[in-house]
Every structure is written in C-alpha cells, then in structure tokens.
Amino acid sequence: MRKLAVFNHVTLDGYFVGANGDMTWAHRQDPEWNEFAAQNAGGSGALVFGRITYDMMAGWWPSPAAMQAFPEVADGMNRMPKYVFSKTLSSVSWSNTTLLKGNLPAEVKKLKQQTGPDLVILGSGSIVAQLAPLGLIDEYQIVVNPLALGNGRTLFEGVKERVNLKLSRSRTFGNGNVFVCYEPAA
C-alpha cells in the first residue's frame, strides 16, 4: 500500500502562504538546504496537488528559468507522476499529470491502494485539511522557516477536530530552517 505524505513550509506563526498567496519567503537558499531539496524533489514519489498549487507549479517547473535556476529539482518535478484534484479544470498540460475530479477522500484511498510510488502533497492546504481528520495522511514533513508573516492561511485551515501527531525525526539547517516530520499518534 502506498503512503501519503505532506511536504510544506510554514512560518513560525503557522502560515504556509501569505495573505496574498505569496510563498517567496520559503526560498531561503544555502548549499546544505539546496542539496536536501534536490534529493527530496529527485525522488521516486508521485506528487498530489489541488488546482491552485498545480497552476503555480505547472507555471514554473517546466520553464527554462526553473531548469536554469534549479536543474535537479526541475528535472525531478517534471519527471515525477502528478495527480491534481480539481472540480474546475477540464484538462492538464504538465507532463505526467493525471486530473482527478471525483470525491477527494475516495480517490485518495484508491490511489493509496494502487501499486506505485508513495504520494506527496505539496502546498494544497485545502487537501491537507480535508484528509488529515480522516487519517489518510501517513506523514507530515514540515519545514519551519524562521520568520513571522502576521497573516495568511494555515496548513490546517478548516480542520474542526484535533489531529494528534508524534515527532518521528527532525533536522536543522544553516539557513535557519528546521525540518520536522510527524506521524499520526496511535
């Protein structure tokens, strides 16, 4: 059975995007961080997006600018299988992307039962908020960035019930980022 993880950046005050959808704050570069990001993006997983995140990612990673700025990450992002959940898109153009329009929890359960690489949600806070209370997320990989935005959207916006988690690993980077990984608590 495939596992489903979340990989997202958050600020110290808990936001994963700024009030206007800005995420430029999440790109604190240094060689150690760049190597970690390239290893994660170059993996053998499959990516899961909502429409907003898909539009943002599909607009950047296939571009010549992305290939020049982050060649290893861009190669991985473009090569990996991708699933986008959307009620409004009628088609997708990014390579290796499948559009899913059905019931989100039911479709995720089907994806998890198929053979293939593990799944990773990037961005897509509304998907995280819908799946977390149902116990469909197996791992939460969060990068805490050393800044406060003051407003924006939280990763778990809309969650009505407590989701108990336990720390499974962590790592600190020279740029001030802290990677924490949580699993559902038993």
pLDDT in tens, 13-41: 999 999 888 888 887 777 888 788 767 75
CATH class of 4-11+21-167: alpha beta
Please tell me what DSSP assigns to residue 42: T
Q: Distance (Å, rounded) from C-alpha 132 to C-alpha 128? A: 6
Q: Distance (Å, rounded) from C-alpha 19 to C-alpha 42? A: 30
Rounded (5°) CA angle 101-105-108: 75
Contact 122, 162 (CB under 8 A): no
Residue 87: HSE in the Cβ half-sphere, 13 Å Cα cutoff: 3
Compute the average pLDDT of residues 41-53.
83
- What is the structure's pLDDT at 23? 85
Find residue 7's DSSP bridge partners.
Answer: 122, 141
Domain boundaries, the chain: 4-11+21-167
Contacts of 129 (CB under 8 A, 6+ apart): 155, 156, 157, 158, 159
Compute the average pLDDT of residues 63-74.
90
Contacts of 96 (CB under 8 A, 6+ apart): 78, 79, 80, 81, 82
Q: How many residues does the chain have?
A: 186
Share of the chain above pLDDT 90, in %: 74
- The enclosing H or E element of 11 equals strand 4-11
To the question of pTM greater than 0.75 for the whole model, the response is: yes
